[in-house]
């Protein structure tokens, strides 16, 4: 690896990253995937910045995922000499484009997959450092830390929201990820086989939570970013970004922690319903009221209490379903591993 020891001094580990990563055989092929939507004008900047060789790999190839572009992005990618181009007939969103890319990379026999953006936000010179922890078997996933506090074109509000969102993802995933929204990442083949993106908005948060729940080794790599070539297309405005990211995080938390979610939701109903009953019992046995005087409030309290109990029961049922989902995920991993091994052979 040459100077890999020096590079590793700048890689920050997470709690999961301290665990032994999932091992695989000798690494041969690195595939760099680029999800695109109407990126004809910026794609050349990104492709020309990518490395043609990376230490630790005998083959480096590029993959462009054209997410239903209308400006000739696929044709531009082929003109630039991109090795593989896959295309969605219509625009399905960044998360679907990412998953399509992961599946294609696995079919093409990638040992390590690097995901980057088509707007040249992420400098290609960091790709070797991004892949190094996987090559050296110290991580399954490496996430670039853009150090958002130092990005000049980010507003103060956006920096704070990025930091807050990252802290929430850290809590949900049980990792110490430094920059959750960062799309500049490297995945080992084993990690890629285990991840399945369900969100339609963005893959960044969901894949971290999945990786944390599966015990995959994650490390951070501090980087500097290039000046923007165009405004972000993931958000119409800051409020839209906050609403969509918040909805994604809540949905993911409910999906992976259903019992906790329904238990938390049931607490207000249980407290209000129990309070109504306790108040009635106290007043009745202390002789301060008659049964008929508070029947209406008692009926409402009973209804509220039943809602809380039903939420708890939903949580228990969802918890059981979550265990079945985990078993299904194991089966899916084995099927995907077999499927892509056949493709590679």
10 has a pLDDT exceeding 60: no
203 has a pLDDT exceeding 50: yes
The confidence score (pLDDT) of residue 23 equals: 55
The torsion angle over the Cα atoms of residues 46, 48, 53 and 57, rounded to 10 degrees, is: 20
Q: Of 70, 191, 67, 81, give the one whose Cα is nearest residue 118.
A: 67
- Range 182-198 average pLDDT: 92
Bigger pLDDT: 7 vs 295 = 295
Q: Of 212, 192, 23, 54, give the one whose Cα is nearest residue 132.
A: 54
Bigger pLDDT: 205 vs 142 = 142
Bigger pLDDT: 63 vs 226 = 63
The confidence score (pLDDT) of residue 206 equals: 87
Bigger pLDDT: 332 vs 37 = 37
The confidence score (pLDDT) of residue 82 equals: 96
Compute the distance between CA of residue 111 and CA of residue 105 in angstroms, rounded to an integer. Answer: 9
Q: Of 247, 210, 218, 216, give the one whose Cα is nearest residue 326.
A: 210
- Measured CA angle at 146 (ends 257, 227), to 5 deg: 135
146 has a pLDDT exceeding 70: yes
When mean pLDDT is compared across 10-19, 130-139, 221-230, 248-257, the lowest value belongs to: 10-19
Q: Are 46 and 118 in contact (CB under 8 A)?
A: yes
Pairing of strands 112-115, 29-36: parallel
Q: What is the DSSP letter of 108?
A: T
What integer best gives the mean pLDDT of the chain?
83
Helix axes 295-344, 258-285, angle to 10 degrees: 170
Q: Are 44 and 72 in contact (CB under 8 A)?
A: no
The confidence score (pLDDT) of residue 162 equals: 77
Bigger pLDDT: 161 vs 213 = 213
Query: Which tokens hold the place of 223?
Result: 């980087």
- Range 207-220 average pLDDT: 91
Q: What is the pLDDT of residues 158-179, one digit of tens each?
A: 777 778 888 888 888 889 999 9
Helix axes 258-285, 238-256, angle to 10 degrees: 80
The confidence score (pLDDT) of residue 36 equals: 94
Q: Of 7, 1, 10, 3, give the one whose Cα is nearest residue 145.
A: 10
187 beta partners: 113, 141
The confidence score (pLDDT) of residue 294 equals: 65
The confidence score (pLDDT) of residue 343 equals: 60
- Measured CA angle at 39 (ends 38, 41), to 5 deg: 120
Q: What is the pLDDT of residues 217-263, one digit of tens each?
A: 999 999 998 877 666 666 666 677 777 777 777 777 788 788 888 89
Bigger pLDDT: 15 vs 216 = 216
- Range 340-344 average pLDDT: 65
Compute the distance between CA of residue 112 and CA of residue 59 in angstroms, rounded to an integer. Answer: 11
When mean pLDDT is compared across 49-63, 223-237, 323-337, the lowest value belongs to: 223-237
- pTM attached to this predicted model: 0.77
Bigger pLDDT: 229 vs 299 = 299
For the chain, what percent of residues have pLDDT higher than 70?
84
E-only strand ranges, 148-298:
185-188, 218-222
16 has a pLDDT exceeding 60: no
| Res. 1 pLDDT band, cuts 50 70 90 | very low
The confidence score (pLDDT) of residue 52 equals: 93
Pairing of strands 12-13, 141-145: unpaired
- Range 86-100 average pLDDT: 93
Q: What is the CA radius of gyration of the chain?
A: 25
When mean pLDDT is compared across 66-80, 164-178, 223-237, 310-324, the lowest value belongs to: 223-237
The confidence score (pLDDT) of residue 6 equals: 39
The confidence score (pLDDT) of residue 345 equals: 55
């Amino acid at each position: 690896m040459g100077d890999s020891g020096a590079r590793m001094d700048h890689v920050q580990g997470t709690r999961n990253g301290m665990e032994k990563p999932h091992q695989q055989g000798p690494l041969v092929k690195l595939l760099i995937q680029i999800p695109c939507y109407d990126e004809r004008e910026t794609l050349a900047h990104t492709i020309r910045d990518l490395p043609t060789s990376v230490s630790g790999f005998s083959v480096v190839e590029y993959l462009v995922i054209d997410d239903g572009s209308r400006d000739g992005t696929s044709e531009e990618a082929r003109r630039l000499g991109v090795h593989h181009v896959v295309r969605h007939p219509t625009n399905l969103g960044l998360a679907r484009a990412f998953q399509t890319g992961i599946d294609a990379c696995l079919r093409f026999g990638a040992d390590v997959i690097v995901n980057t953006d088509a707007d040249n936000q992420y400098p290609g010179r960091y790709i070797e450092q991004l892949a190094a922890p996987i090559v050296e078997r110290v991580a399954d996933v490496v996430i670039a830390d853009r150090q958002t506090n130092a990005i000049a074109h980010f507003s103060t509000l956006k920096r704070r929201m990025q930091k807050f969102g990252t802290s929430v993802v850290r809590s949900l995933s049980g990792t110490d990820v430094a920059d959750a929204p960062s799309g500049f990442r490297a995945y080992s083949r084993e990690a890629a086989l285990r991840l399945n993106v369900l969100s339609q908005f963005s893959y960044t948060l969901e894949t971290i939570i999945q990786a944390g729940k599966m015990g995959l080794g994650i490390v951070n790599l501090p980087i500097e970013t290039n000046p923007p070539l165009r405004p972000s297309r993931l958000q119409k405005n800051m409020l839209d970004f906050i609403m969509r990211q918040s909805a994604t995080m809540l949905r993911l938390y409910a999906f992976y922690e259903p019992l906790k979610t329904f238990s938390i939701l049931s607490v207000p109903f249980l407290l209000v319903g129990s309070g109504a009953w306790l108040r009635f019992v106290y007043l009745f046995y202390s002789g301060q009221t008659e049964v008929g005087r508070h029947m209406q409030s008692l009926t409402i309290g009973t209804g509220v209490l039943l809602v809380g109990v039903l939420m708890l029961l939903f949580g228990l049922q969802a918890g059981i379903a979550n265990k079945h989902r985990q078993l299904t995920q194991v089966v899916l991993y084995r099927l995907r591993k077999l499927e892509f091994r056949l493709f590679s052979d």
